[in-house]
């Protein structure tokens, strides 16, 4: 069985490590804010989960 806890840790750690540098780049700031919001949402789901099935959220539309 897949180790979702380990996958969550790896992915969130990588995202967290790039958010602050991205926020310093004006054109990348919206992407950094999207990543930060997703990271916080994932953390909330992770902390509140009680063996509930994984549900995927729709991908937000890309800004033009």
User: Could you read off the pLDDT of 14-50 as tens digits, one per residue?
Assistant: 988 999 999 999 999 999 999 999 988 988 887 887 6
Cα distances from 8 to residues 2, 23, 27, 28, 29, in angstroms, run 11, 22, 27, 24, 23
pLDDT, residue 46, reads 79
The pTM score is 0.64
pLDDT grade for 64, boundaries at 50, 70 and 90? very low
**24/34 Cα distance (integer angstroms):** 14
Q: Residue 48: in which H helix or E strand, if any?
A: helix 29-48
């Amino acid at each position: 069985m897949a180790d979702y806890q380990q996958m969550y840790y790896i992915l969130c750690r990588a995202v967290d490590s790039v958010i602050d540098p991205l926020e310093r780049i004006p054109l990348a700031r919206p992407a950094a804010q999207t990543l930060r919001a997703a990271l916080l949402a994932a953390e909330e789901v992770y902390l509140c989960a009680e063996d509930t099935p994984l549900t995927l959220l729709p991908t937000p539309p890309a800004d033009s």
